[in-house]
């Protein structure tokens, strides 16, 4: 997996849009960008994945510039329940059964009332 | 779909005893299961990968004789912490992936909090 850098922590307020940026300067051509969310005392869950431009689902949007050296996870109108750690991962994510996910430090997002 | 359970959700044991944690895929067959541990305010650390019917592959620095992993069926993997000590107190999380699925399509259990006194 390519090395990623993301802020250690962020605070925001309910109702705001939150953008978490991840840097991945050494991303390879075949790499995808994947984000996970982990609530306190729970296992992580996949939230979104993209390769280029923009991806949107019911939870978040992912913006990837043309050079793909960074990506931004956007959470619209956050609520207190969005308080979690958000992990950015970059890799091929193959179906090889030995392919594994290694988590970095993640961004601890704290939503304030 | 794609639900992974863990049992117990929390356990307290005395130093020197062994503890077994179960990880089950409830609605799919998990050919590969992973075990992670997580200390407070830290990221998940991958401990080992287990493929059904094969011996687990441990990450560097993880003692395989201390953390015994058995993936005996396509729906069950167990982690046994042998001769537990207070420093083994942690949050243990398993994940499971079905055959042919890409690596991000792994589903995580809710975790087991182990406290060794």
pLDDT digits (tens, 9 = 90+) for B7-52: 999 999 999 999 999 999 998 899 899 999 999 999 999 999 998 8
Angle at B40 between CA B93 and CA B34, to 5 degrees: 20
CB-based contact A98 B49, cutoff 8 Å = yes
Is the Cβ–Cβ distance between B5 and B108 less than 8 Å? Answer: no
In tens, the pLDDT along A62-107 reads 999 999 999 999 999 999 999 999 999 998 877 776 778 888 899 9
- The alpha carbon of residue B15 is apart from the nearest alpha carbon of chain A, in Å, by 23
**Which residues on adjacent β-strands are paired with residue B6?**
B23
What is the reported pLDDT for B54? Answer: 85
**Please, which pLDDT band fits residue B53 given cuts at 50, 70 and 90?**
confident
CB-based contact B103 A45, cutoff 8 Å = no
Q: What is the separation of C-alpha B103 from the centre of its chain, rounded to a whole number of angstroms?
A: 17
CA distance B99 to B107: 13
Is the Cβ–Cβ distance between B37 and B44 less than 8 Å? Answer: yes
CA distance B106 to B85: 30
Indicate the residue of B46, B93, B109 with minimum beta-carbon distance to A100.
B46
Indicate the residue of A34, A97, A106 with minimum beta-carbon distance to B43.
A106
> If we measure between CA atoms, which residue out of B43, B46, B44 comes closest to residue B56?
B46
């Amino acid at each position: 997996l390519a090395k990623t850098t993301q802020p250690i922590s962020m605070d925001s307020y309910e109702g705001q849009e939150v953008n978490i940026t991840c840097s991945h300067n050494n991303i390879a051509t075949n790499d995808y960008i994947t984000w996970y969310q982990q609530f306190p005392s729970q296992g992580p869950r996949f939230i979104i994945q993209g390769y280029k431009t923009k991806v949107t689902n019911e939870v978040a949007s992912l913006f990837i510039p043309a050079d793909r050296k960074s990506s931004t996870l956007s959470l619209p109108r956050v609520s207190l329940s969005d308080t979690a750690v958000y992990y950015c991962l970059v890799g091929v994510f193959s179906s090889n059964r030995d392919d594994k996910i290694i988590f970095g430090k993640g961004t601890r997002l704290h939503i304030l009332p | 779909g794609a639900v992974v359970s863990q049992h117990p959700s929390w356990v307290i044991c005395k130093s020197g005893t062994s503890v077994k944690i179960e990880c089950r895929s409830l609605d799919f067959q998990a050919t590969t299961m992973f075990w992670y541990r997580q200390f407070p305010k830290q990221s998940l650390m991958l401990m080992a990968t287990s493929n059904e019917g094969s011996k687990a592959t441990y990450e560097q620095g993880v003692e395989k004789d201390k953390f015994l992993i058995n993936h005996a069926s396509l729906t069950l993997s167990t982690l046994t912490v042998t001769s537990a000590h207070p420093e083994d107190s942690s949050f243990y999380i398993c994940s499971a992936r079905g055959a042919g699925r890409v690596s991000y399509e792994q589903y995580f259990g809710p975790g087991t909090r182990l406290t060794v006194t």
